[in-house]
Chains A and B, each alone.
Chain A
């Protein structure tokens, strides 16, 4: 503690009339003369309603406190003779409330530390250096923070809130006024942030206030805090960094466990305080509190914690209502903020136009979020976190109760649940003998009645009178009485409005975002008759044909005898055309957070599978164009990008539900202008590579490193020694070398493509697909000889210098020379019309129509190695199909129905109704919002309208990119 802090404690102490000596607390407690003596420690709170724990109510009961602990509680009990008696008639006494998440600014460290070193960090990418961290080739002596520590300055698990926490009355008093007696002070910055501390909410000697040191280890997925150009920048990069760090900590624990654990012949292990600090977490002795920032990432945390074997809890983002289905299997306890959007003050009536349905839904759903969590069986603890004005906590809690939160659950969320979560349930959370005497005293009928004032909190057996309590004592009884009468006389009309407002807010108008999505029809069997069927398989195109679907699979196509009639849905498709569902081999459409981890040249540890965004509207839009599958890629900012994720467009399903189970893992790589950063601006000239010369050099370097890594792993396995440090970047590259993962590489110019082919051939690796391959037509034979499948743009050109030689004949020419060609979208727009993209191969170069259709069906399936399951209409394959109004390559045809796994996900006839329902919902919400504003303006109380820093428009992570085609972002621009 600094001298200043110490002085503050002394000054504060005199003001509070509670004088601790910071260095010890002698049993005698006799203070030197001049100080006010400590009050005696024996108290009896008599005659109040005591709620010892949620659901247990003792009326007219007594609580006896002795020296900071509860000695006794019960009815028909007389106060001990040595106690000071506190009459509690008309009061309700709860166990002291606990706020499980208080990121206090006092724990912040200077961000400048990280900024200062960031340029060093980036300027040191010189080839030939040691492998330092996560694929970064470089030679750094300082790892981003002064002194020993983690390579990533924002990873500071060794930080302890306890070391920088100074109690401040200014921040603590408002919490006590809400009835809180203890709180978890948490480090507020970074990715892996450090340990929090449970403290009593009093300004006192810091040593004395600590109830539990190192409560949680804190992990946040916030991608906004870091310095520019420093790994990790993206959400997926943050997750990769978290994963790697925990694995490193496991390894560190293993090799430091004993002399024998560290195998001879390996370099002396480094001392890394970050890894050491994570030991309690990896050994299950410390709970990890994740701050995922979004509903989907709250779900992702579950998988990550499972993978890392962590005991975990989650700080709710407040938007869990978006996907309540994800909560059912999530074992975490959620710490839930009551931070609700308030209606904006819009300059003109017309400006409501800028208010989306989603924003209105977020406003209308917010108060129901705690109840949603409970309905799905989750334990919740409530926190004041996120409230710029802490006073709105009780008002918002009232809104949450009005929207279905059980008062008993609410009480548990303030007492027993946080106590258990913090591991202090034997000492806090209920009123029972032996427990710490933390109490919250409220006017009856209790905390959940808005007019009931919090009178006192007791912390460690000491009373803290709150303004409501002190005000009463100075006021004369008569005055108080006249005040109430006056209010009573006036109240008739003004009271009506709050009641109306309350009733209005009680009723949710918003629908769940899951409504109007998901399968429209899920028949056990389907028979499509009289159609022209483009099988994209051996049967070719069949006219007047039938397609039989059973249990989600194609049972038969063409001419067959129907053997089952039960629950059969028949579709007469006379004049219609049926094709396999279209497959987009290259997409960025459903990715949460940045598409690129653009800081480092090899980001192979990043997994798109971590950040699949099931909530984007683009899925529905693309279903409307007959698309049923796509491969989600990392962007092309780095020579070695991230791990891909193949999804089916089962709109409405969870991220896990979208993932295609039979997809072999893939890795995105990239070449050319994007990876050499030529379009990034003049500041980007120091990352290796900066030229097409350096790209193959860099790639060869990483695969060589992966080869060595693989050898070291194999050696260790053979000798029974511990494996080397697990390296997630090299692990992904090693899987390529082992043939267990496939390369899909963004490539434009013929020279760079040949260079990559030869580099990978030197490692014995065959590339699965090259993406865009704009100059592929120049080296068609080489492409065919290597055996990779080119996945092209139909006709994009001239947007960058390296695409000046791109021609729309590319696909046709490659096909003619024997290559397995697909056309991809790389665009949320083009993904809606891949059929007409395929038609361009007919126009430019005369590819036969049936072959051109394969460019967007079976060929991409083959390139992605999923053709055994999808891509054609053949018996045994997944029933992913599209019914078109006319020939599929005719630009005047439209998709009428799109089916995935034998379920109808899109029907043109129902699309308009779904949109109309959304429009109606928005109008109803607008009406409600405007009415709420009117009532408030008329003095109805309730929510204030927000102005600066308006939280109403806070956009959920899942919605951040709506209406934006992410192709430019994928370019790394």
Chain B
């Protein structure tokens, strides 16, 4: 994607960057991965100063300093010991670690209603060898929109039948998916079979032939759960056969891409993301995973608050996607899902916020999911952790991402207000030490049309 220099807006953009240069930072202008003109630092070492640094790992540091070297954070503190390095002055701004958006359709879906642009779902109930990241379009117009609000990493999640496939953690910066994917695979996505019965009486359904009695539905429910468990037990048997072959106790099994794909998961080396919303599903999934000693992360989790103790007992983190879902039961309070994260937190469950597995165009609103929980009692510092450090942990990337600490990637953004406040804007942003553009299809169209001459 390239832009014609004559297009309204582009010139304006450059002026903005020049203004940035005037604050005395040594900058060279180069072409970034987005194909957009972005500044990049010539120096390999530089210092951010003036901002309130929300380290997330500890207390915020007003007027703190962050020393960056080779794309990593070298030091953080009220004042770091350095001389003669270029300085980026962020006085008056708030510095946060880059946000991590787990369980999204970003990169996989451009326009929901245009099938040709949607790559979120495959055919088949058991497809663990489907790898989501190969379908991520690095030039999706939706990516820069999410990035412009501080989202630095996202997880494109495969959808499907029961075992949908594997996901990756992808940086919102890079030329190709191979540049961008920082962890693959991240997890195996399992969609827990529905356990609710549809109680609509025959007289009320339009499709009379398709109607099923509660008993028949219950039988099918049991069969679906059995099929899920059998699939994983088969995979475990395959893994055992391989192990036996490795120690020359048996002949190696015929290689099978499906069973091969499941090896790290049945060995417990990588987590399963289990999608489940309803209480019975969550209980069943957690118990199943615990019995098999497989690490799981619960995604969706609408009713997780009702089984919080069980989740806490088994140390299952929850990617909570239902802040803005309407109350599900007629006995629920109007704010049931606004308060759900706090119920989970108080029980000892780790909460990660997400715009949800179907979200793509509005992943930018991720911090406001957390803000809504804060409005209804959730601690603000925990909310920020649920956008940064906790998803980094779940993604197995806490050594590199999720907080502003020495040794981690220099991935952060500076905002003119609180990250949870809708009114605030991201002013500058870095991913792994590289400053990224905050331009998007939105800003370009805005610039173009705000400069439209007054119509006759």
Query: Residues of A at under 8 Å CB distance from B?
Result: 224, 344-348, 350-351, 353-359, 617-618, 620-621, 624, 673, 679, 777-782, 785, 795-801, 804-805, 807-809, 813, 816, 828-829, 832-833, 836, 839-840, 842-845, 849, 885, 889-894, 911-912, 914-915, 918-919, 921-922, 947-955, 962-965
**B279 contacts across to A, CB distance below 8 A:** 353
Tell whether A915 pairs with B331 under 8 Å between CB atoms, given A795-B365, A798-B141, A799-B113: yes
Specify the chain A residue showing the minimal Cβ separation from B444: A807
Our pick among B199, B365, B423 for the contact of A953 (Cβ within 8 Å) is B199
Say whether B40 faces chain A, with CB atoms less than 8 Å apart. Answer: no
Say whether B203 faces chain A, with CB atoms less than 8 Å apart. Answer: yes
Contact status B203-A354, CB under 8 Å = no
Contact status A839-B422, CB under 8 Å = yes
Interface of B is mostly: loop
CA distance A804 to B145 in the complex (A): 12
**A911 contacts across to B, CB distance below 8 A:** 333-335
Contact status B334-A782, CB under 8 Å = no
B114 shortest CB reach to chain A, Å: 5
CA distance A369 to B325 in the complex (A): 34
Our pick among A351, A800, A816, A842 for the contact of B423 (Cβ within 8 Å) is A842
**B365 contacts across to A, CB distance below 8 A:** 795
**B372 contacts across to A, CB distance below 8 A:** 833, 891
**A890 contacts across to B, CB distance below 8 A:** 421-423
Please name 25 pairs of A and B residues whose Cβ atoms are closer than 8 Å in the assembled complex, sorted by A. A347-B215, A353-B280, A354-B197, A357-B330, A624-B334, A777-B445, A777-B449, A795-B365, A799-B111, A799-B113, A805-B445, A813-B449, A839-B421, A891-B368, A891-B422, A892-B374, A892-B420, A892-B421, A894-B375, A915-B331, A915-B336, A922-B331, A950-B201, A951-B201, A952-B199
Contact status B422-A836, CB under 8 Å = yes
Query: Which of B328-362 touch A at CB < 8 Å?
Result: 328-336, 360-362
**A833 contacts across to B, CB distance below 8 A:** 324, 372
**B196 contacts across to A, CB distance below 8 A:** 353-354
A111 shortest CB reach to chain B, Å: 13
Query: Which of B94-123 touch A at CB < 8 Å?
Result: 110-114
Size of interface on B: residues with Cβ below 8 Å to A: 65
Say whether B45 faces chain A, with CB atoms less than 8 Å apart. Answer: no
Contact status A962-B330, CB under 8 Å = yes
Say whether B376 faces chain A, with CB atoms less than 8 Å apart. Answer: yes
Contact status A948-B446, CB under 8 Å = no
Tell whether A347 pairs with B330 under 8 Å between CB atoms, given A798-B361, A808-B442: no
**A354 contacts across to B, CB distance below 8 A:** 196-197, 199
Contact status A345-B203, CB under 8 Å = no
Contact status B376-A894, CB under 8 Å = yes
Contact status A778-B449, CB under 8 Å = yes
Interface string of B49-73 (1 = CB under 8 A from A): 0000000000000000000000000
Tell whether A955 pairs with B200 under 8 Å between CB atoms, given A620-B334, A836-B368: yes
Further pairs besides A798-B142, A950-B213: 15, Cβ < 8 Å? A353-B278, A621-B327, A781-B452, A782-B455, A795-B364, A798-B111, A801-B114, A809-B445, A809-B450, A889-B422, A893-B375, A950-B201, A952-B199, A952-B201, A954-B203
**A842 contacts across to B, CB distance below 8 A:** 422-423
B181 shortest CB reach to chain A, Å: 23
**B335 contacts across to A, CB distance below 8 A:** 624, 911
Our pick among B201, B214, B336 for the contact of A345 (Cβ within 8 Å) is B214
Say whether B393 faces chain A, with CB atoms less than 8 Å apart. Answer: no
Contact status B375-A679, CB under 8 Å = no
Contact status B368-A679, CB under 8 Å = no
B441 shortest CB reach to chain A, Å: 8
Contact status A800-B450, CB under 8 Å = no
CA distance A313 to B442 in the complex (A): 58
CA distance A646 to B217 in the complex (A): 42
**B326 contacts across to A, CB distance below 8 A:** 618, 621, 828-829, 963-965
Contact status B423-A849, CB under 8 Å = yes
Specify the chain B residue showing the minimal Cβ separation from A795: B362
**A804 contacts across to B, CB distance below 8 A:** 111, 141
CA distance A962 to B218 in the complex (A): 24
A8 shortest CB reach to chain B, Å: 30
Say whether B184 faces chain A, with CB atoms less than 8 Å apart. Answer: no
Contact status A358-B111, CB under 8 Å = no
Contact status B368-A357, CB under 8 Å = no
Tell whether A347 pairs with B218 under 8 Å between CB atoms, given A842-B422, A845-B446: yes
Contact status B206-A224, CB under 8 Å = yes
Contact status A843-B420, CB under 8 Å = no
CA distance A30 to B154 in the complex (A): 95
A637 shortest CB reach to chain B, Å: 15
A626 shortest CB reach to chain B, Å: 12
A798 shortest CB reach to chain B, Å: 4
A360 shortest CB reach to chain B, Å: 10
Interface of A is mostly: loop
Say whether B22 faces chain A, with CB atoms less than 8 Å apart. Answer: no
B39 shortest CB reach to chain A, Å: 23
A758 shortest CB reach to chain B, Å: 14
Contact status A947-B213, CB under 8 Å = yes
CA distance A828 to B325 in the complex (A): 10
Tell whether A891 pairs with B375 under 8 Å between CB atoms, given A777-B446, A798-B142, A843-B425: yes
Specify the chain A residue showing the minimal Cβ separation from B364: A795
Interface string of B304-341 (1 = CB under 8 A from A): 00000000000000000000111111111111100000
**B141 contacts across to A, CB distance below 8 A:** 798, 804
Contact status B214-A807, CB under 8 Å = no
**B449 contacts across to A, CB distance below 8 A:** 777-778, 780, 813
Our pick among B200, B278, B360, B442 for the contact of A807 (Cβ within 8 Å) is B442
**A344 contacts across to B, CB distance below 8 A:** 199, 214
Tell whether A954 pairs with B362 under 8 Å between CB atoms, given A785-B455, A889-B423, A892-B374: no
A929 shortest CB reach to chain B, Å: 14
**B280 contacts across to A, CB distance below 8 A:** 350, 353
**A964 contacts across to B, CB distance below 8 A:** 326
CA distance A816 to B278 in the complex (A): 46
**A921 contacts across to B, CB distance below 8 A:** 331
A951 shortest CB reach to chain B, Å: 5
CA distance A808 to B454 in the complex (A): 21
Specify the chain B residue showing the minimal Cβ separation from A840: B422
Contact status A809-B455, CB under 8 Å = no
B231 shortest CB reach to chain A, Å: 23
Tell whether A800 pairs with B112 under 8 Å between CB atoms, given A948-B202, A950-B214: yes
Say whether B424 faces chain A, with CB atoms less than 8 Å apart. Answer: yes
Tell whether A891 pairs with B371 under 8 Å between CB atoms, given A778-B452, A813-B446, A915-B333: yes
CA distance A234 to B201 in the complex (A): 21
B60 shortest CB reach to chain A, Å: 16
CA distance A816 to B451 in the complex (A): 12
Contact status A955-B423, CB under 8 Å = no
Query: Which of B161-220 touch A at CB < 8 Å?
Result: 196-197, 199-204, 206, 213-215, 217-218
**A829 contacts across to B, CB distance below 8 A:** 324-326
**B218 contacts across to A, CB distance below 8 A:** 347-348, 351
Contact status B421-A891, CB under 8 Å = yes
Closest 7 CB pairs of A and B: A347-B218, A915-B333, A781-B455, A953-B199, A798-B361, A891-B371, A839-B422
Among B203, B331, B362, max chain A CB count under 10 A is at: B331
Query: Which of B214-228 touch A at CB < 8 Å?
Result: 214-215, 217-218
Specify the chain B residue showing the minimal Cβ separation from A846: B425
B221 shortest CB reach to chain A, Å: 8
CA distance A421 to B235 in the complex (A): 72
CA distance A842 to B420 in the complex (A): 14
A796 shortest CB reach to chain B, Å: 7
Our pick among B214, B329, B446 for the contact of A351 (Cβ within 8 Å) is B214
A920 shortest CB reach to chain B, Å: 9
**B371 contacts across to A, CB distance below 8 A:** 836, 891-892
CA distance A952 to B423 in the complex (A): 49
A188 shortest CB reach to chain B, Å: 14
B78 shortest CB reach to chain A, Å: 27
**B441 contacts across to A, CB distance below 8 A:** 805, 807
